[in-house]
Chains A and B, each alone.
Chain A
Amino acid sequence: MIVFIARRLVISFFVLLAATFIIFVLTAFAGDPLEDLRQDNSPQKLTKIAERSERMQLDVPVVLRYLGWLGRIVRGDLGVNRDGQAIAPILSDALSATLQLVLAATVLAITVGIVIGIISALRQYSGFDYTVTFAAFICFSLPLFWVAVMLKQYVAIEFNNWLKDPVIPPVVIGALALLGGLVFGALTVGDRRRRLVAFAVGLVVSGTLFTVLSVTRWFADPGLGTPLILAFGLATAVGFTALTAGLQYRGPLYATLAAAVIGAVCSQVLGPVLADPTWLEIGGLLLLTIAVCLGLGYALGGLQRRQAMTAATLTGVFTGAMVFLDRMLQAFSAYSASVRHRPVSTIGARTPNYQGDFWQTGLDSAGHLLLPTMALILISLATYTRFSRASMLEVMNQDYVRTARAKGLPERTVVLKHAFRNGLIPVTTMMAFDLAGVIGGAVVTENVFGWRGMGFMFTKGLQEVDPGPVMAFFLVTGTTVVVFNMIADILYAYLDPRIRLS
């Protein structure tokens, strides 16, 4: 395994090296870096041209310029842009925003996409499947920038306006209830009667939900509260137990229920700790949650100890996430007031000079990330959905899935243990390809939403035919892709024992 990783590392290094050379040369030839100065009518025109030519070494052959750049990079110097500003500080400002955007979009796309893809495959030829397939095709065909502009106009501006008086009009409630009914109905298998019942249930549940949210003006001051956290926690406890161990035996169920209850209790007890925590504290709490849940599963799981530990951990983490969300929502009204009731932002990566506690700054970056992520996620989401659907369909037809059924395994074990893991293998190879796509998308998205991130650095550098910033952008994104590629490879080897040996 270590040899495998080491070999990948060496190959990746040379691949990256070759890529930097290509980008450098192409950028250098992309146009005339002195174009703006040639049209300059000021008396210092010639001095400016000479100065910039000197700084960009325009008289040196491009290969030598590349070698010079490479030499500086090795010493950790990113150089200066054509106006003489050091690139390193610009990069460090741009870096975190863009990486946040790219990683958030990728992680969300992978998890949501795979889940939708699998459900769609298991319900092949159902209404849900057709809808998902059609939606995926739409997503594949949407120009990202166009969607981004639409989101900016309709989601941000209109939504912010609506938030001032968050009453959902009856027509919208009706439409949402209908949608809920359709989703329920499409997800149900069985004859027409069962589907109609599911439709009715979905209709009533979502209708009631949105009416309550509207009447109580929930969106003006949102939050969950301990009872809701407990209810969600218990529901997930039952759900995860049914998925991993089945509800036939009590051990695992007790473990997950305990995890949910402890989580809900903590939302009350941990008040002081959660008042203004740091990310480090949140991380510590997460680790603590996992440890406690593993212990619960071990103690209560009985003969299904393994499954109980998995289910309890998932329940614990999920309940913890609910507590986290609850806290953040509680900070909403204060935050919203502090940004003049325009919480969904359309410009930049954060509100300039914003001061607030942990939750408020969290909301601030969430508000800024929301729209770009939504726009950026569409294509990846469609890709992962389609890919994992196809992969699952292929796997579900394999002989070993039939063998698993012939053994009398319950369907959840057949799907989760035998099909899912094999179905994931081709999806991992997708990840590296897709990340490159997301980075490209981030360039466009940043442009629309006016982020001064890496994408902006790249487009500006390219417009100015200035290799410095372009190369800085590429070093970061290229390394990210390589690292991601490597993670995908390791994951692949972990999932497929046949690869491990070779």
Chain B
Amino acid sequence: MTTPPNVPIEPRKGDVHTYDIPSTILDSAGDVHVGLQRDAVRPPSEDEILRVENLSVEFPTEDGVVHAVRGVSYSLREREVLGIVGESGSGKSVSSMAVMGLLPKSARIKGQILFRGDDMLKMSPRKQRSLRGRKIAMVFQDPMTALNPVHTIGDQLAEAVLAHELMPRKNALARAKEMLDLVGIPQAEARLRSYPHEFSGGMRQRAMIAMAVINNPDVIIADEPTTALDVTVQAQILEKLLEVKDAVNAAIVLITHDLGVIAGMAHRVLVMYAGRPVEIGDTDPVFEEPRMPYTAGLLGSIPSLETSGGRLRPIKGTPPSLINLPTGCPFSPRCPLADEVCRTAEPELAETDSGGHFAACHHWDRLAAVEDPTVFFRTESETKA
């Protein structure tokens, strides 16, 4: 599995989806790679749809302020798939909720969220609402609870259309039927009159996808779209998501903790830890040559056919409290490479050696020096042997 790091556009699973990516992406990505741009975010370009700059989100609670997201930046271009990986509580969901404008009122949001150059955080609520569901749509994690149990599927789909466009209900329902056909729900006409509880989990997630794309959005945010589903259904849903994305020419922000999903789908990947981006780059370089021990640890802790027989190398410990963050690198308490520097100074995202990707680690060069970076997470039994 050695792909040239600079050409991450090809999907990995099969060749069903061919992407017609404008050369500008490659060009400007190339700019970053040769190190002209010191910033981890690519420079704005014509086909950039979404740009998140230095986003941070805080929640005041009785126990103190929760720093859920601290300084996340990324950019998304047309038809691109960006994967965001991280453990629970790493801020990956919160940052995308901020993009959707769905955070509770108590959240303190700073930074910029630019949709085609307009800052969504500065828009009037009405303007924000008109983008939501029409230009930026979302697929949620748990399809069992994300659909309203008391309204029919057809009604819930049609109202997504009617929220943005005044038209006869009949036409909206016809659109809804088309979408159900598109996501592969059989007998779409009859299914419009069904209630969510009459659908299986996979069918509901298909309906959620139909709902997300019904207004031809530019961006689909998929928040762990397969986590709540049976393993056999997961692949189908991901496949469908990519297929539908192509049908409507949308870009996807795919949030997941499943590295396999990212590897199979995403062009670029953003790794988050304790509310911070700790590594960002094109998918292949990040996976082949991780430059942040956390990413390496994640890679070491997934079972795969290649490593079968060998031991898994889990990361020890748990993520830190987002109220009392440790000084220095938030990963240092769990990091096998941590030293005094790590415990005192929090590393910035900086460009590394490997194919233009950025990592927030003081010691990324030590990872670069070894063949298999997961080796630092050797278990005790391995060390003895």
Q: Taking the complex as a whole, does A directly touch B, i.e. does some CB pair lie under 8 Å apart?
A: yes
| Interface positions of A (Cβ within 8 A of B) | 249, 303-304, 306, 398-400, 402-410, 413, 417-418, 421-422, 425, 495-498
A-B residue pairs in contact (CB < 8 Å), sample of 15: A249-B166, A303-B168, A399-B140, A400-B146, A406-B100, A407-B163, A408-B132, A408-B164, A409-B163, A422-B148, A422-B150, A497-B150, A498-B149, A498-B195, A498-B197
Q: Determine whether the beta carbon of B159 is less than 8 Å from that of A409.
A: yes
Query: Once bound together, how far apart are the Cα atoms of A422 and B100, in whole Å?
Result: 24
Contact B133 A408, beta carbon cutoff 8 Å = yes
Q: Is the CB of B148 within 8 A of A407?
A: no
Residue of B nearest to A408 (CB): B133
Are B102 and A405 touching (Cβ within 8 A)?
A: yes
Residues of A within 8 A of B36 (CB): none
Closest Cβ of chain A to B112, distance in Å, is: 21
Q: Are B163 and A413 in contact (CB under 8 A)?
A: yes
- Cβ contacts B72-90/A at 8 Å (1 or 0 each): 0000000000000000000
Query: Pick the contact of A407 from B142, B145, B150, B159 — CB < 8 Å?
Result: B159
Taken together as a complex, chains A and B put the C-alpha atoms of A306 and B159 apart, in Å, by: 13
Chain A interface mostly: helix
The reply to whether A408 and B129 contact each other, CB–CB distance below 8 Å, is yes
Chain B residue at minimum C-beta to C-beta distance from A249 = B166
- Chain B residues contacting A406 (CB-CB under 8 Å) are 100, 102, 132-133, 137-138, 140
- Please name all residues of chain A whose beta carbon is closer than 8 Å to the beta carbon of B148 when the two chains form the complex: 400, 403-404, 418, 422
* A403→B150 contact, CB < 8 A: no
In addition to A406-B140, A407-B137, A410-B129, 8 A-B residue pairs with Cβ atoms within 8 Å of each other are A304-B166, A406-B132, A408-B133, A418-B151, A421-B150, A497-B149, A498-B149, A498-B197
Cα distance A128–B85 in the bound complex, in angstroms: 42
B147 at the interface (CB under 8 A from A): yes
- Are A407's CB and B195's CB within 8 A? no
Of chain B, the residue at the smallest CB distance from A304 is B166
Q: Are B132 and A405 in contact (CB under 8 A)?
A: yes
Which chain A residues lie closer than 8 Å to B159 at the CB level? 407, 409, 413, 417
CA distance A306 to B170 in the complex (A): 13
State whether A400 touches B147 (Cβ < 8 A): yes
CB closest residue in chain A, given B208 = A403
How many Å from the CB of B353 to the closest CB on chain A? 40
User: With A and B bound together, what is the CA distance between A81 and B265 in angstroms?
Assistant: 84
The docked-state distance in angstroms from the alpha carbon of A410 to that of B163 is 7
- In the complex, are the beta carbons of A403 and B132 less than 8 A apart? no
Asked if residues A303 and B147 are in contact (CB atoms below 8 Å), the reply is no
Q: For A498, give the chain B residue with the smallest CB separation.
A: B197
**Judging by beta carbons under 8 Å apart, are A399 and B197 in contact?**
no
Interface centre among A306, A402, A408, A410 (most CB of B within 10 A): A408
Q: CB-nearest residue of chain B relative to A497?
A: B195
Interface residues of B in 137-181 (CB under 8 A from A): 137-138, 140, 142, 145-151, 159-160, 163-164, 166-169
B150 touches A408 (CB 8 A): no
A407 in contact with B102 (CB, 8 Å): no
Cα distance, A417 to B151, chains bound together (Å): 9
Please encode chain B, from 198 to 231, with 1 for each CB lying within 8 Å of some chain A CB and 0 for all others. Answer: 0000000000100100000000000000000000
B216 to chain A, nearest CB (A): 13
A87 CB to nearest chain B CB (Å): 46
- Cα A304 to Cα B159 in complex, Å, equals 12
Complex contact B149–A408 (CB within 8 A): no
Could you tell me the distance between the alpha carbons of A410 and B160 in the complex, rounded to whole angstroms?
11
B28 interface hit (Cβ, 8 Å): no
Interface residue count on the B side (C-beta < 8 Å)? 31
Residues of B within 8 A of A403 (CB): 138, 140, 146-148, 208, 211
Chain A residue at smallest Cβ distance from B104: A397
Contacts of B195 in A (CB 8 A): 497-498
Q: Nearest Cβ in chain A — how far from B95, in angstroms?
A: 15
6 closest cross-chain pairs (CB), A and B: A408-B133, A408-B132, A407-B133, A399-B145, A400-B148, A407-B160
Residues of B bordering A, CB below 8 Å: 100, 102, 129-134, 137-138, 140, 142, 145-151, 159-160, 163-164, 166-169, 195, 197, 208, 211
Residue contact A408 to B146, C-beta cutoff 8 Å: no
How many contacts between A and B, using CB within 8 angstroms?
A: 79
Give, as a whole number of angstroms, the nearest-CB distance from A492 to chain B: 11
CB contacts (< 8 Å) of A303 on chain B: these are 166-168
Query: What residues on B are CB-neighbors of A399 within 8 Å?
Result: 140, 142, 145-146
Determine how close the nearest CB of chain A comes to the CB of B100; give it in whole angstroms: 6
Tell me the bound Cα distance from A134 to B164 in angstroms. Answer: 41
B167–A496 touching, CB < 8 Å? no
Min C-beta distance of A194 to chain B, whole Å: 14
**CB pair B146 A402 closer than 8 Å:** yes
Expressed in whole angstroms, the Cα–Cα distance for A496 and B137 within the complex equals 27
- Chain B residues with Cβ below 8 Å from A408 are 129-134, 160, 163-164
Task: State the Cβ distance, A327 to closest chain B Cβ, in Å.
Answer: 40
CA distance A311 to B298 in the complex (A): 56
Cβ–Cβ < 8 Å partners of B150 in chain A: 421-422, 425, 495-497
Given A418-B148, A498-B149, the answer on whether A402 and B166 have CB atoms closer than 8 Å is no
In whole angstroms, what is the CA distance A408 to B133 when docked?
5
Which A residues touch B145, using CB under 8 A? 398-400
Name the residue of chain A whose CB is nearest to the CB of B161. Answer: A407
Q: Are A422 and B149 in contact (CB under 8 A)?
A: yes
B residues in contact with A497, CB < 8 Å: 149-150, 195, 197
Determine the chain A residues whose CB is within 8 A of the CB of B133 once the complex forms. 406-409
- Chain B residues within an 8 Å CB radius of A422: 148-150
Residues of A within 8 A of B146 (CB): 399-400, 402-403
Residues of B within 8 A of A400 (CB): 145-149
Least CB distance, B213 to chain A, in whole angstroms: 12
* CB neighbours of B142 from chain A (8 A): 399
A123 → chain B, closest Cβ, in Å?
A: 11
Chain B residues with Cβ below 8 Å from A495 are 150
CA of A406 to CA of B138 in the docked complex: distance in angstroms? 7
Measured CB to CB, the closest approach of chain A to B144, in angstroms, equals 9
Query: Could you tell me the distance between the alpha carbons of A497 and B199 in the complex, rounded to whole angstroms?
Result: 13
**For A417, what are the chain B residues with a Cβ–Cβ distance below 8 Å?**
151, 159
Distance in angstroms between the alpha carbons of A423 and B129 in the assembled complex = 24
A402 to B208, CA, bound (A): 13
Q: Which of B130, B131, B159, B168 has the most CB of A within 10 A?
A: B159
Q: Name which residue of chain A comes closest to B194, CB basis.
A: A497
Q: What CA separation (Å) do A417 and B149 show in the bound complex?
A: 12
B311 to chain A minimum Cβ distance, whole angstroms, is 38
A107 to B168, CA, bound (A): 37
CA distance A418 to B145 in the complex (A): 13
Residue ID in chain A nearest B106 by CB atoms: A125
Whole-angstrom CA separation of A179 from B169 in the bound complex: 46
Q: How far is the CB of B3 from chain A (nearest CB, A)?
A: 35
CB closest residue in chain B, given A402: B102
Residue on B with the closest CB to A419? B148
Q: For the complex, what is the distance from the CA of A303 to the CA of B133, rounded to whole Å?
A: 21
| In contact, B147 and A407 (Cβ under 8 angstroms) | no
Shortest C-beta distance, A387 to chain B (Å), equals 18
A193–B100 Cα distance when bound, in Å, is 29
Residue of A nearest to B165 (CB): A303
How far is B147's CA from A398's CA once the two chains are assembled, in angstroms?
Answer: 10
Chain B residue contacts of A306, Cβ below 8 A? 169
Q: A398 to B102: give the CA distance in the assembly, Å.
A: 13
CB neighbours of A404 from chain B (8 A): 148
B151 to chain A, nearest CB (A): 8
**Which residues of the other chain, A, contact B149 by a CB distance below 8 angstroms?**
400, 422, 496-498
How far is the CB of A497 from the nearest CB of chain B, in Å?
Answer: 5
Q: Which chain A positions have C-beta within 8 A of B151?
A: 417-418
* Cβ–Cβ < 8 Å partners of A496 in chain B: 149-150
Q: Which residues of B have CB within 8 Å of A413? A: 159, 163
* A403 to B195 CA separation, bound complex (whole angstroms): 16
The answer for the CA separation of A498 and B197 in the assembled complex, in Å, is 7
Assembly CA distance A404 to B146 (angstroms): 9
The distance in angstroms between the C-alpha atoms of A409 and B138, with both chains bound, is 13
Docked pose: A425 CA to B150 CA in angstroms: 10
Taken together as a complex, chains A and B put the C-alpha atoms of A406 and B97 apart, in Å, by: 9
Cβ-closest chain B residue relative to A403: B146
